[in-house]
Amino acid sequence: MNKIALITGATSGIGMATAKVLAKLKYNLIITGRRKERLDQFSNLLQSEFGIHTKALAFDIRNEEETTAALNTLGEKWSKIDILINNAGLASGTETVDQADWTKWKQMIDTNITGLLFLSKEIIKEMVSRKQGHIVNISSIAGIQTYPGGSVYSATKHAVNAITKGMRIDLLPHNIKVSSVSPGMVDTEFSLVRFGGDQEKANNVYNGVDALLAEDIADAIEYIVTRPAHVNINDMLIMPTQQADATNIYRK
């Protein structure tokens, strides 16, 4: 029987590329995101292109009731999740702390931390009862380094790193692997979202840089989830060649 993976935030970018990689490995996939039409279209594509079963769950990960309702539809067929990819997340704005936009801060905290925790908690229960599972949390270079205008986004990714380490310790007796991937700049919809749909500002982020592609991160995730049972990759920090760290970028 095919194994099952759940990927949050599979309507674009890293989540979408990861879904394709896991579909190629013949995982049946639960994919999530808010944009239902995109999700359903992608679900159909995965079925036809890779011959796998899929379940598309459209919900806002910040909303506990929506998340619970979505997970309650999994039933016997879909509840035994082998791999959980906690990918849904965002940065919103680049305001300095004195110019705080509370709504944006709250959106990042509620999505990147609270949403990740709430969904994981439900899925971990089943993994513990079966004594098997692998959780991969998508963190960031921002989880290691804070940069101007990135305080709260960076705080959320520092939190993801703390949660990853805590999960790894707590789940040690239950044979559950916990990994994280920490990318630098990846050319996805991330910057478009960060700048509220301003395409020009988003393009400027990647100006003169060969940024990472979503497929590069999916490739790393493929490596992480295909290691032998006795090997766990704790974290992978992956940068574009032209980016040394969060603030040192060489632009051609």
Tell me how far apart the alpha carbons of residues 146 and 137 are, in angstroms, rounded to a whole number.
19
Of 58 and 128, which CB lies nearer to ligand NDP in the complex structure? 58
Collect all residues with Cβ–Cβ distance below 8 Å to 140 and sequence separation of at least 6. 153, 154, 157, 160, 182, 183, 184
For residues 141-170, which are near ligand 8X3 according to CB under 6 A?
141-142, 150
Query: At its nearest, how many Å lie between ligand 8X3 and the CB of residue 193?
Result: 11
Residue with tokens 């990689």: 21
- Told to judge if 223 belongs to the known catalytic residues of this protein, a careful annotator would answer no
Tell me which long-range contacts 161-166 makes (C-beta under 8 A, separation of at least 24): 161/235, 163/113, 163/116, 163/117, 163/137, 164/137, 164/139, 164/235
**Residue 246 binds what, of ligand NDP, ligand 8X3, none (CB under 5 to 8 Å, by partner type)?**
ligand 8X3
DSSP helix, strand, coil percent of the chain (3-state; round to 5): 50, 15, 35
Tell me how far apart the alpha carbons of residues 132 and 240 are, in angstroms, rounded to a whole number.
34
Task: State how far Cα 49 lies from the chain centre.
Answer: 23
Instruction: Pull the structure tokens for residue 86.
Output: 């906690």
Give the CA dihedral 197, 198, 199, 202, nearest 10 degrees: -100
Residue with tokens 């599972």: 133
Query: At its nearest, how many Å lie between ligand NDP and the CB of residue 134?
Result: 18
If one asks whether residue 93 binds ligand NDP (CB under 6 A), the answer comes out as: no
If one asks whether residue 33 binds ligand NDP (CB under 6 A), the answer comes out as: yes
If one asks whether residue 88 binds ligand NDP (CB under 6 A), the answer comes out as: yes
Pattern of binders to ligand 8X3 over 223-252, x per CB under 6 A? -----------------------x------
Length of the chain: 252
Q: Taking the CB of residue 203, how many other CB atoms lie within 10 A of it?
A: 13
Query: At its nearest, how many Å lie between ligand NDP and the CB of residue 1?
Result: 28
If one asks whether residue 239 binds ligand NDP (CB under 6 A), the answer comes out as: no
If one asks whether residue 190 binds ligand NDP (CB under 6 A), the answer comes out as: yes
Of 54 and 156, which CB lies nearer to ligand 8X3 in the complex structure? 156
Pattern of binders to ligand 8X3 over 174-203, x per CB under 6 A? ----------xx------------------
If one asks whether residue 186 binds ligand NDP (CB under 6 A), the answer comes out as: yes
Query: At its nearest, how many Å lie between ligand NDP and the CB of residue 130?
Result: 26
Residues that bind ligand NDP (CB under 6 A): 9-15, 33-35, 60-62, 87-90, 111, 138, 140, 183, 185-186, 188-190, 193, 214
Binding site for ligand 8X3 (CB under 6 A): 140-142, 150, 184-185, 246
> Which active-site residues does the annotation give?
153
